[in-house]
Structure 1
Amino acid sequence: MKDKARLLIVDDSVESLELIDTQLDNKYHTSLVTSLSEARKKLLNNRYHIAIVDLVLPGENGLDLIRELSTDHPYTAVIAISGQASIEAAVMAMKLGAAEFLVKPLSNPDLINIMVEKTLQAQWLLEENRRLSAMLRKELDTDLIIGNSVPIQSIIQKLKKIAGLDTLALITGETGVGKSVFAELIHRNSPRRGEKFVSVNCGSLTETLLESLLFGHKRGAFTDANRDKIGYFQEANGGTLFLDEITETSLAFQVKLLKVLETGVYRAVGSDEDTRTDTRIIAASNKDIEALVKEGLFREDLYYRLNVINLHIPPLRERKDDIRVLASSFVQEFCDKYNKAELKISPGVMSLLLNYNWKGNIRELRNALEHAVIMAENKVVQPEDLPESVSGTSGSTEVFVEIDNASWAQARDAFSKHYIQNLLAKTGGNVLRAAAMAEITRENFYKKCTKLGINWRKYRKSSDNDNGGEI
């Protein structure tokens, strides 16, 4: 059973504080304060799961505290509340990292409870992801973040069993699911972990070049063979050789590979001498290998030889529980890479990530978040920071993700934001053309951009003139 969550509630009105505390019905440990200075003192010695912050305080601005929480207490979620704040203030609160925004008076006790519970579930899920990921790294001696969904945990259990067995393995799954990561995990946790792990993508090489790379060649074996060269089998001797996209190889090459697997010997190109190899082979493919065998495009005997152990990695759309931990990991990775301060992922962005189809799987997710980190201007990744294909600004219907359980005003603004972003994307940031397409004046278009927190300059093409693409 989970311990009671800790909530910090900041409101200048004692009456409002007591009302919220009563509505929460003693389900949480609550700290009630009436000023930002009191809140800061509480935060010095306590960790809170949620901070409920009134934006309008006498002589103070609740946005300042939200900004500090985002920077100094990134694992404290924020629910912003106000009876006076403007739409701009609400938008800014969300940009700074607030998970929810509520309008006072909070007359419906169910609403605050629903919002708190929803936010806590997201917080606990992130904490569980971090805990399981740390445990996974410790148990499997790896710093490769994979995920902790039920399908992946099942694969991890299988991986732990097979890693210590010195046998062939075949990994299958769509492009981008992380087949090479799992191959390296097997190597890292095998008796061969002290030796080399060598990876080669068979699909990108001609048959002649692939043979030369794997088996090596003798001087004069072919044009430009000016010296003897060892192959990957020799380089990986004692270790592991990962053959990615094995189904892209020719039938002639498959015969030669099968012989190596059966005899443990090979010949360098241009040599008449056998060389013995002690190398574990892990192969991978994104194709239906059994179908290829039936079509005569892949040797049946090689398939059965490789398929001693089969590890199938499901696509990301079938294990969406992994998206949160992967997204957090990638954002941290790219913040470090580009020397940016820590970024949080806004609820709107996480909704988009969880509902996107991810045809390119983990690789596409990683690329999308690298783009988002580069584009982010605040301390929170926003939907407009994502590539258009993911954010929905290219005309997709993912706008509906953000209006689930929203009020009429929130739904209207969500649609308006996506509509305007789509126009800006289509026109390359040409405000005059975008306004004409929307059948409103340019001045009105600017006002809507400001109201909805849209930076139209982001959509300008590099070839635009000094007028910023406005005309």
Structure 2
Amino acid sequence: MVENKFNNYLGQAKILVIDDEPDTLEIIRRQLENDYEIDTALSAKIAFEKLNQNKYHIVFTDVVMPDIDGFEITKKIKKQWPIISIVMISGKASVEMAVQAMKLGVEEFIEKPIEDLDLLKLIIEKILKSKWQAEEINRLHRLLAQGFDRTNIIGNSLAIQQVMEKVKRIAVLETTILISGETGVGKELFAELIYKNSKRKDKKFVIVNCGSLPETLLESMLFGHKKGAFTDAVRDKIGYFQEADGGTLFLDEITETSQAFQIKLLRALEKGVIRKVGDDKDIEVDVRIIAASNQSFEEEVEKGNFREDLYYRLNVITIHIPPLRERIEDIKLLANTFVRTFTEKYKKTNLIISEPAMSILLTREWKGNVRELKNAIEHAVALSGHDKIVPEDLPDHIYQSSDFLNTPIFNILQLPFPIAKNKFEKIYIEELLNKTNGDVTKAAEISKIKRQKLYEKFKKLDIDPKQFRIK
């Protein structure tokens, strides 16, 4: 469904190409006209006439033009039509030119002659996907702003907003819900979110971690027991089902339960009654069940570990919580939120995450997801002895295994050479300054770059060595 929405968006995209070379315009038009609506302009004057008459998603512009250059064209477009994405084309590309273009808000920089047409299409699709995601996020934000309590859920990524939209739609229903997702993604938080936005929000929300309770205790804890039912049963006790009566019961790690227990749970769901351990009378209960597991329900059914009939009884609606590696854009927001939480806990002030440390956070796979990130930030805040969290403050297994130059987010092989070279230089110099605590002399010695040349690179790459000095 999401893919279909994006494909529809792609089909409606409109692109304007500005270049004073008719051959370049013709090459681009021929390659793209089957997929997108393409307009061309041989001059800036013609381009602005078309911009005033049409709505474009992307503008390609040459740098060298007869009337005004591509930089001036970019400035005017960004001022009047800020949502238009711009790709700059040049036959005489340089690092300085690429940096200047990026500072003006240019999305990509392509060198002439344009020979890699697959790369051209890839760039267009990447830009359009980013635009579509931004529009989807805004749409979902507006939808969720209408009487929806999203307390404790941190994230603005499209992946998390789509989950939130589904939660809003199903929260008011009375159906059972299955939540799937890896360890640490926040399944309990989403279960609570469903409860808070349901018709049962004024009743109890009871959480049971089935995996943490021994089999002998689980039945008694959920259904209750009669006095004398077993050795330690010295009095009657109600279980979690009765405690949650009228409200919501969240059964986490439900795939960890035994077949015998699953039969009793199935009966409770189908008939709306429970029976205490040691009792022969049924007790009616009105409970909404939300169940979760970090295992695949389908695989557990196939292995014979989870009853198929119980699975189908629970699986009225399923919500999958995406892992952190699929919502990288949320990491910075999550990390900064956790820093604020733990600076308060550990009585520290004005603590921020340094760029090198944030680079490590952004490029880690996070197999433990949000929980692992939260623990890493607490460790860093607790140990930090200065006003910035630096890589060395992070847990050893994270800091020592970091290799962010080789991760997808920094895959420079996907970039045009001028931008790739510039990005590599910036990463290299920032890591160098981090290692030397902002000491330019030491950085010059290690890199074999003269101090004066380093300062030139600082200016070109917008790097302030003072930011790397530990106070």
Q: String of CA shifts for 1:38-69, please: whole Å, max 9, x gaps.
A: xxxxxxxxxxxxxxxxxxxxxxxxxxxxxxxx
- CA, structure 1 residues 171+354, in 2 after alignment: closer, same or farther (shift >3 Å)? same
- CA, structure 1 residues 134+223, in 2 after alignment: closer, same or farther (shift >3 Å)? farther
Q: Residue 150 of structure 2 corresponds to which residue in structure 1?
A: 142
In the alignment, is residue 220 of structure 1 matched against residue 231 of structure 2? Answer: no
Q: Residue 93 of structure 1 corresponds to which residue in structure 2?
A: none
Which range moved further: 233-242 or 405-414?
A: 405-414
Which range moved further: 271-280 or 255-264?
A: 271-280
Alignment of 1:162-241 (within 5 A): 162-241=170-249
Alignment of 1:2-17 (within 5 A): none
- CA, structure 1 residues 136+371, in 2 after alignment: closer, same or farther (shift >3 Å)? farther
Task: Give the alignment partner of residue 102 of structure 2, picking from 87, 96, 114.
Answer: 114
Task: Give the alignment partner of residue 394 of structure 1, picking from 395, 400, 413.
Answer: 400
Query: Residue 144 of structure 1 contacts residue 181 of structure 1 at CA under 8 Å; is this kept in 2?
Result: yes
- CA, structure 1 residues 343+129, in 2 after alignment: closer, same or farther (shift >3 Å)? farther
Q: Residue 347 of structure 2 corresponds to which residue in structure 1?
A: 339
Q: Distance in 2 between matches of 1:207 and 1:380?
A: 47
| SS at 1:291 equivalent | helix
% identical aligned pairs: 52
Q: Distance in 2 between matches of 1:182 and 1:149?
A: 16
Which range moved further: 355-364 or 222-231?
A: 222-231
TM-score scaled by length of structure 1: 0.60
Query: Residue 145 of structure 1 contacts residue 326 of structure 1 at CA under 8 Å; is this kept in 2?
Result: no
Q: String of CA shifts for 1:408-442, please: whole Å, max 9, x gaps.
A: 87666666689999xxxxxxxxxxxxxxxxxxxxx
1:453 deviates by: 6.5
- CA, structure 1 residues 116+268, in 2 after alignment: closer, same or farther (shift >3 Å)? farther
Q: Residue 377 of structure 2 corresponds to which residue in structure 1?
A: 369
Q: String of CA shifts for 1:272-292, please: whole Å, max 9, x gaps.
A: 221111111000011111122
Q: Distance in 2 between matches of 1:109 and 1:166?
A: 59
Which range moved further: 266-275 or 234-243?
A: 266-275
1:200 deviates by: 0.8
Task: Give the alignment partner of residue 167 of structure 2, picking from 123, 147, 159.
Answer: 159
Query: Residue 171 of structure 2 contacts residue 198 of structure 2 at CA under 8 Å; is this kept in 1?
Result: yes
- CA, structure 1 residues 114+328, in 2 after alignment: closer, same or farther (shift >3 Å)? same
Q: Distance in 2 between matches of 1:179 and 1:407?
A: 37
1:167 deviates by: 1.0
Task: Give the alignment partner of residue 258 of structure 2, picking from 245, 250, 265.
Answer: 250
| SS at 1:310 equivalent | strand
- CA, structure 1 residues 145+218, in 2 after alignment: closer, same or farther (shift >3 Å)? same
In the alignment, residue 394 of structure 1 is paired with which amino acid? Q
1:188 deviates by: 0.2
- CA, structure 1 residues 407+243, in 2 after alignment: closer, same or farther (shift >3 Å)? closer
Structure 2 runs not aligned, ≥5 long:
1-54, 56-71, 80-94, 108-132, 413-419, 438-465
Q: Distance in 2 between matches of 1:290 and 1:298?
A: 9
| SS at 1:255 equivalent | helix
In the alignment, is residue 383 of structure 1 matched against residue 371 of structure 2? Answer: no
- CA, structure 1 residues 419+351, in 2 after alignment: closer, same or farther (shift >3 Å)? closer
Q: String of CA shifts for 1:303-340, please: whole Å, max 9, x gaps.
A: 00000010011111112122122222212221222222
Which range moved further: 246-255 or 201-210?
A: 201-210
Q: Distance in 2 between matches of 1:334 and 1:365?
A: 13
- CA, structure 1 residues 407+167, in 2 after alignment: closer, same or farther (shift >3 Å)? closer
Query: Residue 137 of structure 1 contacts residue 144 of structure 1 at CA under 8 Å; is this kept in 2?
Result: no
| SS at 2:178 equivalent | strand
| SS at 2:241 equivalent | helix
1:399 deviates by: 5.6
Q: Residue 87 of structure 1 corresponds to which residue in structure 2?
A: none
TM-score scaled by length of structure 2: 0.60
Q: Distance in 1 between matches of 2:424 and 2:165?
A: 47
Q: String of CA shifts for 1:338-389, please: whole Å, max 9, x gaps.
A: 2222333332222222211000011111111111222233333222222222
